[in-house]
Structure 1
Amino acid sequence: MKRILVGIDGSEPATKAAQMATEIAMRFGAKLTLAYVVPRLVLPPDAYGLTTADVEADHRAYAEKLLAHAEGQLAESGVQADTLVLSGAPAECLAEAAQASDVDLVVAGSRGRGAVARMLLGSVTDRLVHISPKPVLVVR
């Protein structure tokens, strides 16, 4: 196993996913890529009194801070990790990143929603499981 791609969003399930991915990486000598996806804006930025560039810059800064924190927590494990900030639909961006030849596994957290909630609300992890070109480990 060469590399494990981990979706990070600051949630508790994502943190658990990163911990599990770290354990797997340690066992198999793999590297980690911690990825955060900046989602598309739902409301026009002028609704917030900001420009699109302002909102995107703020979100990227948040993503980089979150990833740096996660990377710092992994430092003591000895696992080599890098970070990746993507923009777009989260499941699609992670599936596209998983296409890299050195990615062997994708790890994502589950919000623990039931089937009805997934049907009504949608689920990034559920979508990722269906479209990822690589195996996806869902951590609860």
Structure 2
Amino acid sequence: MARILIAVDGSSPSQRALEFGASLAAKLGVGVLLLHAMPQVVLPLGPMTPGSLSELLHTLEGEGNRLLAALADKAHPYGVAVGTELGVGDAADVISERAEGADIQMVVMGSRGQGAVARLLLGSVATQVVHTATKPVVVVR
């Protein structure tokens, strides 16, 4: 089944991307895949027990899955099939790699609206995805 990948992070721009992407999917008769990129855990220099690392990973995964479930509930009223995936790693890499799937027709994601200096110094996930994804990318403001 053809789908629109909608990158979500819980922010206002990603909420607008969800609304736009789900509405577009309904008009095109395709489904949506909500993708949330969970940051990769970097171990601290201090002591950390295996149990505390496991708890941290479990907490992050739980938060990501709760976010996806809540946003899937917001997408269902558009009458489209909704799938969810939780990726791990750099958000731009996770989004671009998943967009390569044969089931994905396009990517829809929000823009944080950073100024030019912030974009230059920090980069932008949306900018990176626009430059690395091989599928069409729609950035919603």
Do Structure 1 and Structure 2 share a fold, with TM-score over 0.5?
Answer: yes
Letter in 2 for 1:36: H
Whole-Å separation in 1 of the counterparts to 2:75 and 2:128 = 27
Letter in 1 for 2:37: V
Letter in 1 for 2:80: V
Range with bigger deviation, 117-126 or 103-112? 117-126
RMSD: 2.0
Q: CA deviation at 1:57?
A: 1.1
Q: State the percentage of identical aligned residues.
A: 36
Q: CA deviation at 1:51?
A: 3.0
Residue by residue, what CA displacement relative to the aligned partner does 1:99-123 show, whole Å, maximum 9, x if unpaired?
A: 0012110011000012221111121
Q: How does 1:1-140 map to 2 (within 5 A)?
A: 2-41=2-41, 44=44, 51-140=52-141
TM, length-normalised to structure 2 = 0.91
How many corresponding residue pairs? Answer: 140
Letter in 1 for 2:132: I
Letter in 2 for 1:134: K
Letter in 2 for 1:66: L
Letter in 2 for 1:17: A
TM, length-normalised to structure 1 = 0.92
Q: CA deviation at 1:22?
A: 0.7
Q: CA deviation at 1:76?
A: 1.7
* Structure 2: gaps spanning 5 or more residues: none
* Structure 1: gaps spanning 5 or more residues: none
Q: 1:24 to 1:54 in 2, by over 3 A?
A: same
